Amino acid sequence: MNLKTLGGCKPKLPEVRFHESYMPEPNTGCWLWMGTVRGSNNYGCIKVNNKPMAAHRYSWILHCGQIPNGLCVCHQCDNSSCVNPKHLFLATVSENNKDKVKKNRQSKGEKHGLAKLTDELVLQIRKDTRNANQLSAIFNLTAEAIRNVKRYKTWRHIP
């Protein structure tokens, strides 16, 4: 006999799966998500009503209630794998971005996944006396991107 002939088995409720999928970290108080992870940013993922949901968002809903439209669930501990509701807070996208910049957590320069330049190339562009149109062909960038580098509108962290 198999489970199908016995009537199958009941799947666990999301709340039960949630509490089985994290491990408390005693030094920081974080609840480290040990379940499924989505993408390369270490945010946990749990299926609720057959739809994937970020584990920290589910933690907020489970422990604090619904998330108002337009708000994000953010981490005070800056640990993307943490699902401890005491470490979470609500903020707008703008507030979350300001918090990220204030804490210097944003990817800058060549560490940014979409960067087309390196710190070394930025220095070369700034030293080069040719105009933006000439440099754009050399570096395979738009003239506007070259001007932004030269005017320190972008890559400001490079002196």
Total length of the chain: 159
- Strand, coil or helix: 31: strand
Residue 43 backbone dihedrals phi, psi, to 5 degrees:
-75, 130
Pairing of strands 88-92, 71-75: antiparallel
> What number of CA atoms fall less than 13 Å from residue 46's CA on the CB side?
25
Cα dihedral 118, 95, 58, 106 in deg (nearest 10):
10
Helix axes 143-150 and 119-127, enclosed angle (nearest 10): 90
The predicted-structure confidence for 88-130, as pLDDT tens digits, reads as follows 999 999 998 888 777 766 656 666 556 678 888 889 999 999 9
DSSP annotation of 66 reads: P
CA nearest neighbour of 17 among 58, 46, 39: 46
The predicted-structure confidence for 40-99, as pLDDT tens digits, reads as follows 677 999 999 999 999 999 999 999 999 999 999 999 998 989 999 999 999 999 998 888
Distance CA 128, CA 94 (A): 36
* Whole-structure pTM value: 0.64
DSSP annotation of 85 reads: G
Distance CA 29, CA 21 (A): 16
Distance CA 84, CA 30 (A): 6
pLDDT range class, residue 8, cuts 50, 70, 90? low
Q: Is the pLDDT of residue 1 over 70?
A: no
What's CA 24's distance to the chain center, in Å?
A: 21
